[in-house]
Chains A and B, each alone.
Chain A
Amino acid sequence: MAKITASVFTSHVPAIGAAMDLGKTQEDYWKPLFKGYEYSKQWMKENKPDVIFLVYNDHATAFSLEMIPTFAIGTAAEFTPADEGWGPRPVPQVIGHPDLASHIAQSVIQQDFDLTIVNRMDVDHGLTVPLSLMCGELDPKKDAWPCPVIPFAVNVVQYPVPSGKRCFMLGQAIRKAVESYDEDLNVHIWGTGGMSHQLQGARAGLINREWDNAWLDKMINDPVGCADTPHIDYVREAGSEGIELVMWLIARGAMADVNDGKVTGPLPTVKHRFYHVPASNTAVGHLILENPR
């Protein structure tokens, strides 16, 4: 049986990818940020998953305004890092897991979440920056990501985005889907984006350290309550782009302590927690949670 053993949460700021691609990680500005991921890179090596289910959002890259799927699952064999306008990031091709992805799509749709199935999609910084942070710099040709990745794109660009509660319920459906897959696979689920940031208007640059950390505490310890956070609270407290945090609730909802919308088991173990301001315009939050073995 396939099993979700851990969840990883991280911001996916494009400038972090650029800093890694341009060899700037040891500059004073970036040093403290990358220090916060030293543990994580080691943890990834010691806890190498067979598949990563990576929840992220597309930033007007694969999806223009022609089509705006709320939840899109990538079922392709591979995904190419996109040219977002600065040229494609020099990172390895992303290899998918079509069998598990199709299995999850079927199971989750049968659980009443109407996913969009995507067989061709370039992936942007939302997906590749978390991989880079957790795996370090890799040569685009000679190296490979440590395992196949199933991209799961959530619309957080055009309002209304899915509610935190809907995301949290979806996480539970994804876990059921994974656990009904026969092959023994160690699966990690990642929630990415956030934390507080606003990229627009006179309020650009908003950061809310207190709110971010209170939200993190709540997501770890009271995920049901955290999932009830209304959209407008994210906008008001964490900036218009802070709403990306709803994606973290998909990964949190997929952890073993959550059943039928309630916490019924022991909370996951917090293996690592990190918070740093700023990366470009953004507050960076990062967590690693493990299910009890």
Chain B
Amino acid sequence: MALDKPYKDVPGTIIFDAEQSRKGYWLNQFCMSLMKAANRERFKADERAYLDEWPMTEEQKQAVLARDLNWCMRTGGNIYFLAKIGATDGKSFQQMAGSMTGMTEEEYRNMMISGGRSAEGNRYLGEDGDAQPHRQPQGSAGKKA
């Protein structure tokens, strides 16, 4: 019997459930290893070699090398684990979250200062809010496209 997953119709959102967690196990465990300063150093010295020590999929490794957090999430990453990569790179949570929207750092910061992203149009897939798939990427990245 199917599990109850009422959260599949929220735009721009991946809920980290048991299925995602299985998919992302090694990706997230790799991230966890970056909590040790010595591992951060080894990773920074040769990212590819460090990643190859982990039984991650090639796609997961590519997603990490590209620092594409949306891609990391699709392959099972969880933001609290992925944040360890950001920490290693000296990035804040705000820089990491912003990077997933297509906005520049300044655009995202300004959106937060003016009260954040509205829930209007962003509750269900198929509405017309700024987080909907047909309106990506956002900010100046979207305008250039």
Chain A residues in contact with chain B, CB under 8 A?
14-15, 18, 29, 59-61, 64-66, 82-87, 157-160, 196, 198-209, 211, 231-232, 235-237, 240-241, 277-278, 280-281, 283
CB pair A203–B18 under 8 Å, yes or no, is no
CB pair A206–B40 under 8 Å, yes or no, is no
Name the one of A59, A205, A208 contacting B97, with C-beta atoms under 8 angstroms. A205
CB pair B131–A235 under 8 Å, yes or no, is no
- Residues of A contacting B15 with CB < 8 Å? 159, 235, 240
- A83, A157, A204, A241: residue with the most chain B Cβ atoms closer than 10 Å: A204
The digit string for B83-119, where 1 denotes a CB below 8 A from any CB of A, is: 1101110001110111011100000100111011111
Tell me, rounded to whole Å, the shortest Cβ–Cβ distance linking B96 to chain A.
7
CB pair B93–A83 under 8 Å, yes or no, is no
How long is the Cα–Cα vector from A148 to B87 in the complex, in angstroms? 30
The size of the chain B interface, using a CB distance under 8 A, is: 61
Pick 13 A–B contacts, CB within 8 A, sort by A: A18-B92, A82-B35, A85-B83, A158-B18, A200-B69, A202-B131, A206-B117, A206-B131, A236-B119, A278-B113, A278-B115, A281-B97, A281-B116
CB pair A199–B96 under 8 Å, yes or no, is yes
- Residues of B contacting A280 with CB < 8 Å? 92-94, 112
How long is the Cα–Cα vector from A196 to B6 in the complex, in angstroms? 19
- Residues of A contacting B11 with CB < 8 Å? 202-203
Chain B residues in contact with chain A, CB under 8 A?
6-7, 10-18, 21, 25, 28-29, 31-32, 34-37, 40, 69-70, 73, 78-81, 83-84, 86-88, 92-94, 96-98, 100-102, 108, 111-113, 115-119, 122-124, 131-133, 136-138
| CB nearest to A279 among chain B residues | B112
Known contacts A205-B98, A283-B116; is-contact A199 B79 (Cβ 8 Å): yes
| CB nearest to A210 among chain B residues | B119
How long is the Cα–Cα vector from A281 to B93 in the complex, in angstroms? 8
Closest 3 CB pairs of A and B: A207-B116, A85-B87, A202-B12
